[in-house]
Amino acid sequence: MIKITDTRYLGDFRVELRFSDGSVGTFDGQAFLRREGPLLEPLRDEAYFRRLFIDAGALCWPNGLELSPARLHELCSAGKAA
């Protein structure tokens, strides 16, 4: 099972992700935030977006939003920059 082991905020809603298999990719939060949903609203504020953390290998925020490490890994591996 793939997990996120480390993150680094790059600016402009982009986050470098390190995975348990040693791969590294970039999560493009701006592309992700084009979606609609109540859990996404707080993330549109960059200061809140930067409060991301890892919990049990997933990318999370304080409002309960959790993104699947497997899906993020797939997107990063496919070169789609999540």
Assess if residue 71 is contained within a domain: yes
Per-residue model confidence as pLDDT tens digits over 45-67: 999 999 999 999 999 999 999 99
Assess if residue 82 is contained within a domain: no
| CATH number reported for the structural domain that contains residue 17 in this entry | 3.30.2020.10
Tokens of 19: 């995975």
Assess if residue 22 is contained within a domain: yes
Per-residue model confidence as pLDDT tens digits over 26-37: 999 998 999 999
Q: Which domain holds residue 42?
A: 4-77
- Residue 31 CA to residue 24 CA, distance in Å, equals 18
Q: What's the pLDDT at 76?
A: 82
Q: What's the pLDDT at 46?
A: 97
- Residue 73 CA to residue 37 CA, distance in Å, equals 22
Domain count, the chain: 1
Q: Are 62 and 56 in contact (CB under 8 A)?
A: no
